[in-house]
Amino acid sequence: MVFPSPGTAHTYPHTSTTLHACATSGLPVRYALGGDPGGCKVESANGGTTVAISGTTGTCTVLAYQDGDATWAPAEPVRGDFAVGYQVVSISWADPKRPMHHPSGPVGIRVRVTSPDPFKGGMLTMTAKGDCRLENDSYIGVNDPVVTVKVQPTKPSGTSGECTLSGLMGSDHTKQSVTLPPRSYTVTASRSAQPSP
């Protein structure tokens, strides 16, 4: 029996990996997990057998069986292992740093979410310190590559100051928090509304 490796590494939320074992007898092959599930489960989907990634880290061990029939003896089980890890996510500032003009109304500061896979269900939590406040400090269900954070300068008209923003991204898919490094913005006085990107 031949059981090609399902691969060397998979990260959640990959939903599944197709299995391709075959027996020289031509008899059907069935699959079962060996040992600790390690972040996967065996299921059938659309007539093909797959390993579903469940979102837990570890090593997924799958055993392929050919049970034999009246003509063919059962084959020795063949083992296939692959690693399951958390999704890799990073966040960064999407725009060049520019002064915030005050009074100008809310300023849109963009944060970029990067991942090798589609990222859904994340939550971005922002913090503002100094001469500004956030219109919203939590952005739930983030699944876009860019999130616009609305910031309102709070210095009195005709004065200048400084605003420092930072952030934290987390989700059930990453099982870890990813930090957005603090960034300080100069708040400058402006007599007319001049939105800053």
Sorted by where each starts, the structural domains of the chain and their CATH numbers stand as: 9-85 (2.60.40.10), 90-189 (2.60.40.10)
Neighbouring residues of 22: CB distance < 8 A, sequence distance ≥ 6:
1, 2, 29
Q: What is the pLDDT of residues 8-36, one digit of tens each?
A: 556 665 667 778 888 888 898 888 777 66
Is there a contact between 102 and 188 (Cβ–Cβ < 8 Å)? yes
pLDDT digits (tens, 9 = 90+) for 96-113: 998 888 766 788 999 998
C-beta separation of 52 from 14 below 8 A = no
Write the DSSP symbol of residue 191: S
Given a cut of 50, whether residue 193 has pLDDT beyond it is no
Q: Whole-structure pTM over 0.75, yes or no? A: no
- Give the rounded percent of residues in the chain with a pLDDT score beyond 70: 72
pLDDT digits over 138-161, tens only? 887 666 788 999 999 888 777 889
- Residue 25 backbone dihedrals phi, psi, to 5 degrees: -75, -20
Amino acid in the structure at residue 11: T
- Output the pLDDT for position 184: 96
